[in-house]
Amino acid sequence: MLRRPAHRVAAAAAAVALTAALTPTAASAASQSTGSPGSPPGTERLAERYVESALESMTLEEKIGQLFILFAYGPAVDSADARNTGLYGEASAAEIVDEYEPGGFILFSARDNVTDPEQVARLSNGLQEAAMDAGAGIPMLISTDQEQGLVTRIGSPATLFPGNMALGAGRSAKDTRRAAAITGQELLAMGIHQNNAPDADVNVNPDNPVIGVRSFSSDPDLVSLLTAAAVRGYQDDAGIVATAKHFPGHGDTATDSHTGLPVITHTLEEWQQIDAPPFEAAIAAGVDSIMTAHIVVPSLDDSGDPATLSKKIVTGQLREALGFDGVIVTDGLEMAAVRQKYGDGEVAVRAIEAGVDQLLLPADPPAAYDAIEAALDSGRLTEERIDESVARILKMKYDQGVIKRPTVEVDKVMNVVGRQGSLRAAEKITDRTTTLVRNEGDALPVSVDGKTVLVTGYGEVTGRALAAELTARGATVTTLPTGTAPSAGLITQAAEAAAQHDVTVVLTNGVTATSTQKQLVAALDATDSHLVVAGVRNPYDINQLPGVDNFIATYSYAAPALASLAKVITGEIEPQGALPVDIYAGDGSGEVLYPFGHGLGR
């Protein structure tokens, strides 16, 4: 990589002077703006002045850095980790930021970035201090994937929600906006300025292994309505950047793009009717950022390139046909789908050529940086093209407010995160999503007060959480987790245990035609225990369990979803959710067993 340390002091000084040049009134107006049509008068011009001045003061190498969103292993900015050294040649996040000067940084619980909200705030502050000491001295946009439900990077004591498909079952734009607002406010308090949410995919394939309950629905109109509501909650109410994903639409695939390259066979007309509307709704709502998908869509580009690398899709469809002028970010470039055809350096160059602005998680950061620089040296890329993307990124930063307020007050984080009012709102919203799909012979509700209850099936932590809820309602509860692929021995053990309990609750997750969860449920159903069946992820599980008397869909195993499940089981609340998808027969006949909108007890 080309590095020119001599530029750093001068560039940082220029950035400080530029920020200071804003009057207090102007800076205040800038901090209020989210780039929406309702921004204070004059804010747009202030942003333009900032961008122009910043670009003039930056070196080409500093501009290249702004294109990248990196990550580091470890809970603190100075945490040394051999995995960082292997990837970057630098041991800690602070050293990575100093060397690579990225425009953004993303946090993951699985990469040891998250232990508690105050720690996240300290890490965010440390990252910003490192950024302001490096290169142009421009604060980074710190991001994460707090979709809620299945994809939740920061857990309790942060406020948790059951995720998009549950909100789809609730049918409420107001609830969706409120959930996004609470999530966004808590992220911002921890120093996170961009959420890679909402998922705007229309999940029309029940076998989709990567989207599923991350989608609001299989209905484009409902997905559009709730996507727009979430964007407004994140941006207008919470003041963080929303990122609608995964363009041009990842809802009809049976391949996980983390491990393979999906092909979407929708015709152009089908794409316009099914996949495009939620992104159009997000754009109309003022979304700041849109994330591309690593999928092949032959009707939009027959080259075989994934959408992330397709100029026909990124520029032709998203920029020109849909009119989006905000920031376009790739999905993670470490994912297998985007790495199959080209090398890790070439992928970065082709993404920029396609019209992308931000390069998320390059698999080989040195190679990606070097490839961009080599493309500039050869004339394949121009500085003017880099300036286009950097201008969008800088404007998004200015509008969001991170330029003026890059750090947060750690001692005030818990004044925002997990407030009682937010937790109550999450409970009420979740209670409106739980869906009773089947209830033969009025099997539900069932009192558990004074009874023995077995909780079995999916999830050790999930089972314990539900057990605690049922215990609070007077039950004596035993848990026996069997996972998603129970062995014959575990099935026998669970059936024997069920025979000794008054009530058995079995939690399913991803039941397929060959899943041994089917045998587990059948064995439990053959006992005299009162059986309750609950799908804690995909509502589609019921199509493989035709013989059960009842089935409840929670769409999530998040804590509030399990609390609502306990309430529905015991009759404390009426189930209020309606299926946001069609559930087809499991035999491939195409028969609809339970249609979109179905829900008992409503």
Query: Region 393-419: what's the mean pLDDT?
Result: 97
Query: Region 116-128: what's the mean pLDDT?
Result: 98
How do the residues of the chain divide into helix, strand and coil, expressed in percent and rounded to 5?
Answer: 45, 10, 45
**Helix, coil or strand: residue 201:** coil
pLDDT band at 249 (very low <50, low <70, confident <90, very high): very high
Which residues, in sequence order, are CB contacts of 290 under 8 Å at separation 6+? 243, 244, 245, 247, 279, 282, 283, 318, 324, 326, 327, 328, 329
Domain shared by 465 and 365, yes or no: no
> Dihedral sign, CA of 405, 406, 411, 414?
positive
Higher pLDDT, 257 or 592: 592
Q: What ranges make up the beta strands (E) of 366-501? A: 435-439, 452-457, 476-481
Domain shared by 200 and 158, yes or no: yes
Least confident range from 9-23, 151-165, 419-433: namely 9-23
Q: What is the set of active-site residues? A: 258, 331
pLDDT band at 34 (very low <50, low <70, confident <90, very high): very low
Does residue 1 lie in a domain region?
no
The yes-or-no verdict on residue 477 having pLDDT over 90 is yes
Instruction: Give the residue among 50, 198, 187, 52 at the shortest CA–CA distance from 124.
Output: 187
pLDDT for 41 = 60
Domain shared by 211 and 359, yes or no: yes
Does residue 427 lie in a domain region?
no
The yes-or-no verdict on residue 388 having pLDDT over 50 is yes
pLDDT for 21 = 41
Q: Give the residue from 361, 388, 415 where a domain finishes.
A: 415
Does residue 197 lie in a domain region?
yes
Locus of tokens 């007077």: 474
pLDDT for 40 = 60
Domain shared by 410 and 479, yes or no: no
pLDDT for 588 = 87
Does residue 63 lie in a domain region?
no
Domain shared by 521 and 485, yes or no: yes
Which residues, in sequence order, are CB contacts of 386 under 8 Å at separation 6+? 60, 63, 64, 67, 352, 376
Q: Give the residue from 415, 443, 476 where a domain finishes.
A: 415
Locus of tokens 């580091």: 72
User: What CATH code is carried by the domain that includes residue 486?
Assistant: 3.40.50.1700
Domain shared by 370 and 481, yes or no: no
Which residues, in sequence order, are CB contacts of 391 under 8 Å at separation 6+? 51, 55
Q: Could you give the C-alpha distances from 524 to 117, 464, 501, 505, 521, in angstroms and in order?
A: 41, 19, 11, 9, 5
pLDDT for 30 = 33
pLDDT for 27 = 34
Does residue 600 lie in a domain region?
no
The yes-or-no verdict on residue 345 having pLDDT over 80 is yes
Q: What is the 3-state secondary structure (H, E, C) of 493-546?
A: HHHHHHCCCCEEEEEECCCCCCCCHHHHHHHHHCCCCEEEEEECCCHHHHHHCC
Domain shared by 389 and 453, yes or no: no
Higher pLDDT, 341 or 101: 101
pLDDT band at 39 (very low <50, low <70, confident <90, very high): low
Does residue 27 lie in a domain region?
yes
Q: The tokens of 161 are what? A: 């929600």
Average pLDDT along the chain: 92
Q: Could you give the C-alpha distances from 265 to 128, 193, 268, 302, 344, in angstroms and in order?
A: 43, 35, 9, 11, 27
Query: Region 158-178: what's the mean pLDDT?
Result: 98
Q: Give the residue from 370, 385, 415 where a domain finishes.
A: 415
pLDDT for 44 = 87
Domain count along the chain? 2
Query: Region 307-332: what's the mean pLDDT?
Result: 97
Residues in the chain, overall count:
602
**In contact, 333 and 365? CB cutoff 8 Å:** no
pLDDT for 15 = 42
User: What CATH code is carried by the domain that includes residue 156?
Assistant: 3.20.20.300
Domain shared by 551 and 488, yes or no: yes
Query: Region 155-179: what's the mean pLDDT?
Result: 97
Q: Which domain holds residue 478?
A: 434-594
pLDDT for 272 = 97
The yes-or-no verdict on residue 42 having pLDDT over 50 is yes
Q: The tokens of 524 are what? A: 């439990």
Domain shared by 247 and 201, yes or no: yes
Domain shared by 391 and 457, yes or no: no
Query: Region 225-243: what's the mean pLDDT?
Result: 98
The yes-or-no verdict on residue 352 having pLDDT over 50 is yes
Instruction: Give the residue among 305, 220, 207 at the shortest CA–CA distance from 253.
Output: 207
Higher pLDDT, 397 or 206: 397
The yes-or-no verdict on residue 577 having pLDDT over 50 is yes
> In this structure, what are the phi and psi dihedrals at residue 514, rounded to the nearest 5 degrees?
-105, 5
Query: Region 597-601: what's the mean pLDDT?
Result: 95
Q: What ranges make up the beta strands (E) of 333-420? A: 359-360
Residue type, 58: M
Query: Region 131-159: what's the mean pLDDT?
Result: 96
Residues 513, 511: Cα–Cα separation, whole Å: 7
Domain shared by 141 and 73, yes or no: yes
Q: What is the pLDDT of residues 174-220, one digit of tens each?
A: 999 999 999 999 999 999 999 999 999 999 999 888 899 999 999 99
pLDDT for 181 = 98
Query: Region 60-74: what's the mean pLDDT?
Result: 98
Residues 167, 425: Cα–Cα separation, whole Å: 13
Strands, sheet with 68-70, edge to edge from the N-terminal-most edge strand: 327-329, 289-292, 241-247, 194-195, 141-144, 104-106, 68-70, 359-360
Does residue 602 lie in a domain region?
no
The yes-or-no verdict on residue 38 having pLDDT over 80 is no
Higher pLDDT, 26 or 535: 535
pLDDT band at 163 (very low <50, low <70, confident <90, very high): very high
Domain shared by 12 and 121, yes or no: yes
Does residue 426 lie in a domain region?
no
User: Which pTM value belongs to this model?
Assistant: 0.92
